[in-house]
Amino acid sequence: MRTRLLAVSHFVDGKSPTEIARFLKVSRTSVNKWINAYLNDGLEGLNEGKHNGHPKGLTGSQLRRLKPFIIKSAVKPDGGKLQGKYMKNSIEEEFGVIYQKAHVYHLLH
């Protein structure tokens, strides 16, 4: 928050976003974002939002629950094989966790 306030203070004093970024050792994109937030919402706009970070994957317990499903579905009676897109959709429906199809294959190893 301190850096954001300093950026806005320098902006109010007439410094350019490029000068502010260089002085504070942050990206110009960040400075522009903070200035826009300040201009649109005042000091309230500078509050940090929720940090989502990296989306969470399946827990160990969920992976253990997934294993029997994989074994049962790996080869279907009609000869079809389990596909990544089917696994992806099943994981999303069952556990509410969204994976890219490519990552589903990594789960299987």
Q: What is the pLDDT of residues 70-87, one digit of tens each?
A: 777 777 666 667 788 888
Nearest-angstrom CA–CA distance, 66 and 92? 12
Angle at 60 between CA 54 and CA 65, to 5 degrees: 120
pTM of this prediction? 0.46
Q: Give the mean pLDDT of 83-106.
A: 84
Owner of token pair 């279907």: 76
Q: Give the mean pLDDT of 7-13.
A: 95
Q: What angle do the packed helices 84-95 and 60-73 form, to 10 degrees?
A: 140
What's the Rg (C-alpha) of the chain?
Answer: 24
Structure tokens at 103: 């990552």
Greater pLDDT, 15 or 104: 15
Nearest-angstrom CA–CA distance, 15 and 82? 59
What is the pLDDT confidence band of residue 52, given thresholds at 50, 70 and 90? low
Q: Which of 8-22, 25-39, 52-66 has the lowest mean pLDDT?
A: 52-66
Q: Which of 2-6, 20-24, 60-64 has the lowest mean pLDDT?
A: 60-64
Asked if 55 and 98 count as a contact pair (C-beta separation under 8 A), the reply is yes
